[in-house]
Structure formats: structure tokens, C-alpha cells
Amino acid sequence: DSVSLTGSLLEARGNVGKSGKAFIHLTVGVDDAAAGRRTKFYHTQFIAGKRSRQIMLAKVAKFRQGSRIAFRGTISRLGGSEDDWELKNAVFLAAEGAEAG
């Protein structure tokens, strides 16, 4: 399923693996006030190249925890939970307090 949603950035963190490949993990929460629950979308973006660590650090710095962020992408359920989804082919759109990534 492809979705377009706006939520709150819960976490943005980066890491460099043993191979030297950098990656960014983003967790976005979308609140459903009527149902009284929060759905979480997890996205991992890999960055290759000689400057991958610098690029990763710059991208993570653009995202501020708690900021509103719009995104679209393909989702698939993680485990058996209805509240946890993996977000693939993600496009992050400019939103309050965050730049497009």
C-alpha cells in the first residue's frame, strides 16, 4: 500500500556500519485522535560513497525531533502489530521544523 501522511518525527539517528556504508533511521508517529492510538512508521535510508558519513550527519541534523513531517511511500506491516509499519521508497516533504531529506 502506498500512503501520504503527516506525522511527528519521533527519532532521527544515523550510523556507520562495518562496511563503511552509512545509514539513517527515521521513526515517524502518526496520531489517530479518534482511535486514541499512534501508528509508527520506520524508515532506513542507506548512503553510499566516500563522503557517506558526512552526508548522513548532515541529513540527520536537518531533522528535528518532534517536528511535523509529511511523507509518502510504500508501507508493509512489521510483525503482527497494527501500529508498526516499515516505510519503503519514502519521499519526505518539507514540513514544519524539517527540511525534505
DSSP β-ladder status, 84-93 and 37-47: parallel
Per-residue model confidence as pLDDT tens digits over 77-100: 988 788 899 999 888 876 555 444
Distance between terminal CA atoms of the chain? Answer: 22
Report pTM: 0.80
Per-residue model confidence as pLDDT tens digits over 5-54: 899 999 999 998 887 789 999 999 998 878 788 899 999 988 888 888 89
| Cα 89–Cα 66–Cα 91 angle in degrees, nearest 5 | 15
Q: Percent helix, strand and coil across the chain, each rounded to 5?
A: 10, 60, 30
- Taking CA atoms, 18 is separated from 7, 15, 21, 23, 51, in Å, by 32, 10, 7, 12, 15
